[in-house]
Amino acid sequence: MADPTRRKPPLQVIREGNPGKRPVNEGVRLPPADLAEPDWTDTFADVPGDQGAVNERCRNVASREWRRVVPVLELTAGIGTVDTSTLTDYCICIARIDQCEREISVNGILMLGERGWQKNGATTIVGQYRTQLARYIGELGLSPSARGRLISPEDYGDDDDDVFD
């Protein structure tokens, strides 16, 4: 069941009609920006041993996700420099999910511990990261329903009162 307190996205209001004639919130305008990819070694340090290989893979996964998502979001959502930390956290979340899934693949869902068989800790961690990922997907408009709530930068029109012209 839909949440009755949640507002409809502006596109849905326009599509379904606005019988109450309430003003439609068109969103916030951000200045266009070219986002620079963060240095992933700040988050995934270059350390010796097995953890170094894990961190290197995390850097590669995060970097690949950044390069995949940012160009799309620049066109569809009009992201700006204020969104850098959200995008960085999103990419870290993707990398950590990959790390946890690899851990589960190697060691299994259940592990033999001091008290017998117990759940692999990575299963709990990956669940928490997936919950956070769902929030980032909604915030950034990376799912079909979330995209419906976003307004494309091109849809703003060519206003003379635009502060970024």
| 11 conformational bin, left if phi > 0, alpha if psi -120 to 50, beta if neither | alpha
In this prediction, residue 17 carries a pLDDT of 72
**What does residue 32 show for φ and ψ, rounded to 5 degrees?**
-65, 145
In sequence order, the 6+-apart residues with CB closer than 8 A to the CB of 109 are 119, 120, 123
Task: Flag residues of the chain having pLDDT under 50.
Answer: 1, 163-165
Q: Would the pTM of this model clear 0.85, i.e. be above it?
A: no
pLDDT (tens digit per residue) in 103-131: 999 999 999 888 999 999 999 999 999 99
Residues 34, 132: Cα–Cα separation, whole Å: 25
For position 31, what pLDDT does the model report?
A: 67
Q: What's the first-to-final CA gap in the chain, in angstroms?
A: 43
